[in-house]
Amino acid sequence: MSSIAVVGTGYVGLTTAASMASLGHSVVGIDIDADKVAKLTAAEVPILEPGLTELVRDGLRQGHLRFSTDHAEAAHVEFVFLCLPTPPAEDGRADLTYLLDAARTLSPHLKADTVVINKSTVPVGSCARVQRELGRQDVFVVSNPEFLREGHAVQDCLQPDRLVIGSDDEAAAIRVFSLYRGVVTPLVVTDPATAELTKYAANAFLATKLSFVNSIAAICEEVGADIGDVVLGLGHDKRIGAEFLRPGPGWGGSCFPKDTRALDAIARDAGYDFTLLRETIAVNDEQKHRVVDKVRRLLDGPLEGARIAVWGLTFKAGTDDLRESPSLAVIAELVAAGADVHAHDPTVDPGTDLSRATGIAAVGPDALTIHKDALDAADGAQALVVMTEWDDYRWIDPAELVERMAAPGVVDTRNLLNRSSLARAGCRLLSTGRA
């Protein structure tokens, strides 16, 4: 088996390191955050991801996985994975500062013939830029983009839909493929530019699919159709497929928002007017406003002074990731309109300060209260908004919910709750894509 360094132990880096170790490779995870390294060494995983903690613990116990703050550890390996953040700049372009800084730091430590594998989501031409920053012609830079879904990352790493390897050197590509020995999946070997663009294209297509189904849901609400049955009819079409056809409050997370903006920037730089992608983004932004409009309909009046409960803060169930969460955008709009918001999420502690994340810091600390219990958040509420599809909410007794609320009305953005049960309990319900 091979020796590997993984630079960056965030979501992608830690999953990659633990997965490579589980395949029998000798892996060192490198991070500049000493506190994080100490916790990971003690098998304390800061990320909520099914199966990841167990994978890290197994790697540490078997001696296949360790962690360090020292980039010089890369001097002893055959492969280096770059798993650094590429946050969006103000113009939407991916900021490569962390990636290029890492390349410069690593350069003097790498031995000849080391393969540097870029897993970060980066614009076209980034492999070449990493090569220039390394300043090493005896080192190979290869693109191997990740296609991880939060909540399914371990599965996606060890049982991927495909492997995409972009390299100008055939031997280097073969060496990268050898790391995945035992993984049975389609292989796409191409040039670095194509591999880099493939990652952006995949995320942009999925975002477009979600915006499309949310637009169809809006039409359903106006014409009396049922989005659930429409989706069934669409999903059985093999040309379309059922994945990413679930309507909701809009997409968020660490990938789709930044990657769609980055691809739009790539298109602009290439001289192409990507109108479809910009409309996809615009539809997603509008979806959050639609949620707030439904709350106004429930209240049949202004939001100022109204007590509103919100169930779910993460951008989707199965993760503790709050980045670009539609829920936070909705809360910000509710608070800006003068509402008193009381929220719950099974992964967010009551003491968590979300004032900066929601943009409500200027309003005051009392504008948003996070509760430990979902029903406590609904106490005295004039409306409840279900934002994240946690199973915890699915099984709450509708009769008890109605009893706790001041006015029994629910905006269910995920169509999670049982309509019939709510109706029997005397609760008014505004669903997504249903009249």
Q: Is residue 86 in a domain?
A: yes
The range of the structural domain enclosing residue 367 comes to: 280-430
328/194 same-domain check: no
d(CA 167, CA 115): 10
* pLDDT digit string, tens, across residues 103-132: 999 999 999 999 999 999 999 999 999 999
Asked if residue 335 lies in contact with residue 361, where contact means CB atoms within 8 angstroms, the answer is no
52/150 same-domain check: yes
Q: What is the chain's Cα-based Rg? A: 23
* pLDDT digit string, tens, across residues 317-349: 999 999 999 999 999 999 999 999 999 999 999
Q: Is residue 292 in a domain?
A: yes
Tally of domains in the chain: 2
Burial of 171 from C-beta contacts in 10 A (0-12 / 13-18 / 19+): exposed
Structure tokens given for 42: 């003690």
The whole-number average pLDDT for the span 391-408 is 96
The whole-number average pLDDT for the span 243-272 is 96
57/191 same-domain check: yes
* pLDDT digit string, tens, across residues 134-170: 999 999 999 999 999 999 999 999 999 999 999 999 9
288/188 same-domain check: no
Domain of 309, CATH number, reads 3.40.50.720
Q: How confident is the model at residue 351 (pLDDT cuts 50, 70, 90)?
A: confident
Q: Is residue 242 in a domain?
A: no
80/182 same-domain check: yes
Query: Catalytic: 255?
Result: yes
d(CA 97, CA 176): 25
Q: Is residue 243 in a domain?
A: no
The whole-number average pLDDT for the span 45-58 is 96
Domain boundary among 199, 228, 262: 199
**428-430 sheet: strands from edge to edge:** 368-371, 340-344, 307-311, 383-386, 409-412, 428-430
Of 258, 256, 370, 229, nearest in space to 316 by CA: 256
Among 157, 220, 255, 427, the active-site one is 255
Domain boundary among 171, 199, 227: 199
pLDDT of residue 58: 97
Q: What is the pTM of this model?
A: 0.93
36/136 same-domain check: yes
Point out which residues pair with 164 in neighbouring strands: 188
* pLDDT digit string, tens, across residues 192-222: 999 999 999 999 999 999 999 999 999 999 9
Q: Is residue 273 in a domain?
A: no
411/300 same-domain check: yes
Q: Could you give the 3-state DSSP secondary structure of residue 82?
A: strand
Q: Is residue 182 in a domain?
A: yes
